[in-house]
Amino acid sequence: MTDVAERLRAAGLRATRPRLAVTEALRAMGGHHTADEVHAHLVEHGTPLPRTSVYNALVTLSELGVVLRADVGPGAAVYEFAETWHHHFVCRRCGRVSDVSCLVGAKPCLTAGQDVGRVDEAQVIFRGICHDCLRTTGTTPGGRTTP
């Protein structure tokens, strides 16, 4: 946790209890979670914080790069504790969100096709059917049905 506190202080921010608690919750939960899921986890584990504090902490932590915010489509954005920049795959059938390694490994890893200003981040969202859903339906990645 000291690394997060140090990063916050280096950015001129305070290492507040909500910011540290939200970071620890995301680490403990693993995977991708909405702000409401983070809030519920904190309450369940004896760290009741106002929902607004959780949202504010997530915004600050994502701007700092401590957590990764992914806009994976309709519904709430999801957050995760992330050590490296990466992209996401969203299954159209079950909704599972999976990490996809970034080939460049740092942001921005893509450039815009036109001059739009200074780009500091580009998120790629892959969509399709995950391996688990393909197995349960007997469909191959190419869309063919298996016997």
**Do 78 and 89 share a domain, yes or no?**
no
3-state SS of 98-126 is EEEECCCCCCCCCCCCCCCCCCCCCCCEE
**CB within 8 A of 43, min separation 6: which ones?**
49
**Do 96 and 67 share a domain, yes or no?**
no
The residues of the chain scoring below 70 in pLDDT are: 1-2, 138-147
pLDDT at residue 139 in the model? 60
Domain that holds residue 104: 84-147
**Do 89 and 25 share a domain, yes or no?**
no
Q: What angle do CA 68, 69, 71 make, to 5 degrees?
A: 145
**Do 64 and 95 share a domain, yes or no?**
no
Last residue of a domain, one of 63, 83, 103: 83
**Do 117 and 132 share a domain, yes or no?**
yes
pLDDT at residue 59 in the model? 94
Last residue of a domain, one of 52, 83, 114: 83
**Do 93 and 134 share a domain, yes or no?**
yes
pLDDT at residue 47 in the model? 93
**Do 72 and 132 share a domain, yes or no?**
no
pTM: 0.75
CATH number at residue 144: 3.30.1490
